[in-house]
Amino acid sequence: MTVTPIPFAPDLSVRPQIVPFFDEATNTISYIVKDPASRSCAIIDSVMDFDYASGRISYAHADAMIAHIREHDWTLEWLIETHVHADHLSAAPYIQGKLGGKLGIGENIRIVQDTFGKVFNEGTEFQRDGSQFDRLFKDGDSYRIGTMTAHAMHTPGHTPACMTHVVGDTAFVGDTLFMPDGGSARADFPGGDARTLYRSIQRVLSLPRQTRLFMCHDYGPNGRDIQWETTVADEIEHNIHVGKGTSEDGFVALRTARDATLAMPRLIIPSLQVNMRAGQLPPTDEDGKTFLKVPINGL
């Protein structure tokens, strides 16, 4: 196995301020990432509230983040999606309309758009070039949050577009890793691959051992309280899927067997259609109504 070297040097002297927001309905943790040396901040993996039964959207979770930023007179510079989520809808366009900032995702969003554009029969009007986003990150790309330099690191396996974002002593891993007692993300969605995921996890774990890792999801295994912060060292030592030197073949066997037992996420159908559009709803029909498609036997 070859782990692609990290194309940047993490600056452990920078410790961003992290403000987490937990969404109980989807077990998602969104973050405000604040530069301690300025008023600048970023939002990572925001959530738009969606009542599947009624088809209604709302913005309580996003409004709480907006209120926090306004209360502290911070400036939002970036809205980052670690990947195209299959379990919650993004509120990035809504927040962007209120606070500004640029919307960024990994460049392999194009692959995801092409895959699910076909699944949902979106037609030629749906652009599959990532143009719905302001920035498409390549492996090793950097961007600024105030005085801080943030780095994007490609960590596919859960999806082709997954990126880990490293800011100072902190990394946001999306769905690549869970808390040590939660293991790892599934790899059975279209474009996912367990072997690729293992190698991406090893790349994350090659960051300095004291690097703080922040999860996108937590489900409170065995009834414990919800948690979202750990370290590289803790994952190496205690992660139930990859800790203590688990081999690549061992992980692939474990992950493949586990994925075969998992049901599809409750919100996968609406989430994919919205998130591949950078959080925008599908176009309205001639009567001004918006619809989401349900492909029968299509995923």
User: What size, in residues, is the chain?
Assistant: 299
CA-CA distance, 165 to 230, in Å (whole number)? 15
CA-CA distance, 37 to 42, in Å (whole number)? 14
* pLDDT 10s digits, 178-234: 999 999 999 999 999 999 999 999 999 999 999 999 999 999 999 999 999 999 999
The whole-number average pLDDT for the span 56-65 is 97
Q: Are 18 and 33 in contact (CB under 8 A)?
A: yes
Q: Can you give the pLDDT at residue 124?
A: 84
Structural domains of the chain ordered from first start: 17-175+210-224+267-275 (3.60.15.10)
Q: Can you give the pLDDT at residue 245?
A: 87
CA-CA distance, 188 to 172, in Å (whole number)? 22
Q: Which of these, 30, 10, 12, lies nearest to 20 by C-alpha position?
A: 30
Indicate the pLDDT class of residue 123, thresholds 50, 70 and 90: confident
Mean per-residue pLDDT over the chain, rounded: 96
CA-CA distance, 175 to 173, in Å (whole number)? 6
Percent of the chain with pLDDT over 90: 94
Q: Can you give the pLDDT at residue 4?
A: 85
The whole-number average pLDDT for the span 243-248 is 94
Q: What type of residue sits at position 274?
A: V
Q: Can you give the pLDDT at residue 182?
A: 98
Judge whether residue 41 has pLDDT over 90: yes
Give the C-alpha distances (Å, rounded to integers) separating 254 from 27, 89, 122, 204.
23, 29, 35, 20
Tokens 């990290």 belong to residue: 6
For residue 60, what are its two tokens?
Answer: 């309580």
Q: Can you give the pLDDT at residue 3?
A: 80
Judge whether residue 297 has pLDDT over 90: no
Q: Does pTM top 0.85 for this prediction?
A: yes
Tokens 């990994």 belong to residue: 106
